[in-house]
Amino acid sequence: MTQATGQMRMARTIRRAVVTGGAGFLGSHLCEHLLERGVEVVCLDNFLTGSPENVRHLMEHPGFRLVRCDVTDFVHVPGPVDLVLHFASPASPIDYLKMPIETLKVGSLGTLHTLGLAHEKDARYVLASTSEVYGDPLEHPQREEYWGNVNPIGPRGVYDEAKRFSEAMTTAYRTSKGTDTGIVRIFNTYGPRMRADDGRAIPAFVSQALDGRPLTVAGDGSQTRSICYVDDTVRGILALAFSHHAGPVNIGNPDELSMLQLAERIVQMTGSSSPISYIDLPVDDPKVRRPDTTRAEQLLDWRPAVPSDEGLRRTVDWFAAQRDSAALRAG
């Protein structure tokens, strides 16, 4: 089957999906949205960076099943499967720098095993790739045709190259075995259920502001990111999943802002008196990041709908509620 033939087929009916990394931040939102669409969900997670708490509210749903599973070892799911979403991986620098071997294994062996599951079940397969495949980009904004500027032996290489390899493996299954695959390149996503200590800018800034601590901005804060609220990201992912497009497709919000602007906005939203504190810029930290979303708009009719101020407000409110609940339990 050629790629063109695969894209021309009508989108299949999806009744049962497997989500790897389904107890993580993004994975848990995917599980939730799939259930809302009437899709049964088998959530696989080894809880390396995810948590059962993220899916606790789904446990009583008759269509939801949580299974502790490390996809780098073996993957077996009884019964029919229509969709495999491979979202298992450490995704923040603090995690993949602490677990470099695990990150490389889930990008290589985990991708191989989950592709094998999709091929065995004749299921649609969607790989969660990342804007990090573009590295510290020499092209701005980043189009899917851009090959990237990645340092394979730098500290971020374990994540960047794991994802680049997983894209190559996914493409190989499509071209050599006819597996119905899609690749989504996700740009900086944020929202409820992020871990306060996962090292990414938004949860770090929000937690620091709520605690009255200095907000730690790397470098001079001029480096940019394009932040996309989690509901928009999930809509884009599922638009690709329910299609037969191979991708890769960028899913992100072109609303680009500097890290200093982001920190100042969060201080204002929280009403905090926290000052800004500057720390050393991490090695190979990208200077700019903004997706070209033309392909997503044309192929999937997808655009982000949640303005950054609204998404940040929802996120700040969630973190504040978590903080209040923890204080009540402690008191």
Half-sphere exposure of residue 107: CA atoms within 13 angstroms, side-chain side: 24
CA 146, chain centre distance (Å): 20
Cα separation, 217 vs 209, in Å, equals 12
Cα separation, 129 vs 9, in Å, equals 24
159 is an active site residue: yes
Q: How far lies 270's CA from each of 106, 134, 210, 314, in Å?
A: 37, 33, 7, 11
Catalytic residue among 125, 159, 173, 190: 159
Whole-angstrom Cα Rg for the chain: 19
Amino acid at 34: L
> Which residues neighbour 45 within 8 Å (Cβ) at sequence distance 6 or greater?
20, 21, 22, 23, 24, 27, 66, 67, 68, 69, 88
Q: Counting Cβ atoms within 10 Å, is residue 57 exposed (0-12), middle (13-18) or buried (19+)?
A: exposed
Query: Kindly report the CA angle at 51 between 47 and 56, in degrees rounded to 5?
Result: 130
> Which residues neighbour 153 within 8 Å (Cβ) at sequence distance 6 or greater?
none
Cα separation, 28 vs 251, in Å, equals 18
- The end-to-end CA distance of the chain, in Å, is 62
SS (H, E, C) 222-233: CCEEECEEHHHH
> Are residues 77 and 123 in contact, defined by beta-carbon separation less than 8 angstroms?
no
Helix or strand holding residue 74 (H, E) = none
Annotated catalytic residues are 159
